[in-house]
Every structure is written in C-alpha cells, then in structure tokens.
C-alpha cells in the first residue's frame, strides 16, 4: 500500500506565529515504533522544554484530551508518561476535567507536585485507535500501510500555561520502511513554529511510505479526505490523498 501526500509551501510567518519573542523553546522528537511487526504499535515522544517558565502560573502541568470532537478515551492511550527536570523525576498528580455532556473537548491533566527547574523532559508513548474507524473528519490516531495518519489531538501531550514558545518537531523514522517520510499541516518533514504549543494538536499528520504529487499534477487529480478508508481507496484507484 502506498500513501500519497499532497502539500503546499506557505510563504510568510510560521503558522500560529504570535507577537513578541518567545522565552520558551520546545523540541519534540517523535518516533513511530513497529515493535517488529508490519504496523506501527505506538509513537514514542520525547519533549524537552527550555527557557523561562512562568512561575506565577499554576504548577507545571501537561494535558491530553479525554474526549475531542466525539472521539473518546484518547488520554487512556498515553503510556509510560514520565516528566523530569534539572533536579530529578517529578511526581505527577492526575486530574480529569468534568465530562462535557455537549461533546466539547475535555482533558486529563498531569500536574507536577512542585515548581520545576528547566530543562524539563517529558517522555511517553501514545497507542493508536483499535477498532473500526468512524466516518468523518479525522480526530484520531490510525495505523495502516506501515505508517500512520492522525490529528495532533490524538498524538501529543502538550504543556499548559505557555502562551508563546518556539516549537521544533523532529521525526525519527528509523523504525519504518526505507524511504518513509512525514507530512503535516506544516509541510513535509521536520518543522518549527511559534505560538502556543496547543496549536500542534490542531494540525494533521501522515507518516510512512508516502507518495508525492507536484503542484501541476495536483490540478489534474481528484482529491479525497485523508483517513484509513480513503487511503486504501486512493491506493486502489491511483488518486491523490489530501493529507494536509
């Protein structure tokens, strides 16, 4: 099976850029892991946070959605979450928001038991959805064809109380098949963006044996929405998949 990635180069400021010079630098290394099988079993994420954290804010915390756009149990798939700072491993208190009966997002928070001393390093694994994918916009983490497609809300645990940061996302694809690439709302491969780290969960990502279309080819092929069913359909029919 072959994924096909459609993308565009956007000129101008980085997506999500906000005024002012960020004082926080965040580097996220994202590694899909196949664990010896043909499909991705999880993604391993290492997030390093450097700079001046706001000590006037509440204690350092990170969060992931419990429910987002009707997709439930996302935070339950976070495994082996560990946070450490310059003085050692942090004890974390888990707090869940009250259920939102209207279907709007609500979150699980992992809160530090003390003030932190940067750099702060967080590691965890996120497991993919298992079951029959639902129709509609992709707000979940699916594996197929030796790669993944996902909304960021189902991939990333992000720090809270950081209004402006420079975020660097780096892909480690060494456990995928040769020639695999990563594509996202931000383009192909590694990327940097400025703004709240929350914006990373509002983007979309495809990783694996992706194909490419040139802008000229893009004008000559129909588009379908990205997702497991449409990727299979595109591979069968030879049409483009709009993954970004």
The label of the residue with tokens 């079993």 reads 41
Model confidence at 1: pLDDT above 60: no
Cis peptide leading into residue 119 (ω within 30°): yes
Q: What is the pLDDT of residues 62-85, one digit of tens each?
A: 999 999 987 889 999 999 999 999
CATH 2.60.40.3650 holds for 3-12+21-242: yes
Q: What is the pLDDT of residues 80-135, one digit of tens each?
A: 999 999 999 999 999 999 998 887 899 999 999 998 999 999 999 999 988 877 77
Residue 131 has a pLDDT of: 81
Q: Where are the domains of the chain?
A: 3-12+21-242
What pLDDT does residue 244 have? Answer: 36
Residue at token pair 């709302």 = 185
Of 63, 227, 216, the residue nearest 140 (C-alpha): 227
Q: How far apart are CA 151 and CA 156, in angstroms?
A: 9
pTM to 2 decimal places: 0.80
């Amino acid at each position: 099976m072959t994924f096909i990635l459609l993308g565009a180069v956007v000129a101008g400021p980085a997506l999500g850029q906000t005024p002012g010079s960020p004082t926080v630098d965040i580097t996220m290394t994202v590694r899909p892991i196949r664990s010896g099988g043909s499909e991705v079993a999880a993604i391993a994420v290492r997030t390093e946070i450097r700079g001046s954290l706001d000590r006037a804010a509440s204690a350092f915390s990170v969060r992931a959605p419990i429910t987002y756009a009707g997709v439930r149990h996302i935070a339950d798939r976070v495994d082996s979450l560990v946070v450490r700072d310059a003085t050692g491993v942090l004890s974390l208190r888990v707090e869940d928001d009250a259920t939102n009966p209207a279907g709007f997002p609500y979150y699980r928070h992992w809160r530090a038991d003390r003030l932190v001393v940067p750099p702060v390093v967080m590691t965890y694994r996120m497991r993919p959805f298992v079951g029959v994918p639902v129709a509609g916009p992709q707000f979940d983490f699916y594996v197929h064809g030796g790669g993944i497609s996902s909304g960021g809300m189902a991939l990333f645990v992000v720090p809270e109380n950081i209004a402006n940061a420079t975020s660097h996302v780096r892909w480690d694809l060494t456990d995928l098949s040769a020639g695999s690439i990563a594509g996202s709302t931000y383009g192909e491969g590694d990327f940097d963006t400025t703004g709240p780290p929350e914006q990373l969960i509002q983007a979309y990502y495809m990783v694996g044996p992706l194909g490419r279309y040139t802008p000229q080819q893009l004008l000559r092929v129909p588009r379908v929405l990205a997702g497991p069913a449409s990727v299979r359909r595109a591979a069968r029919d030879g049409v483009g998949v709009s993954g970004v």
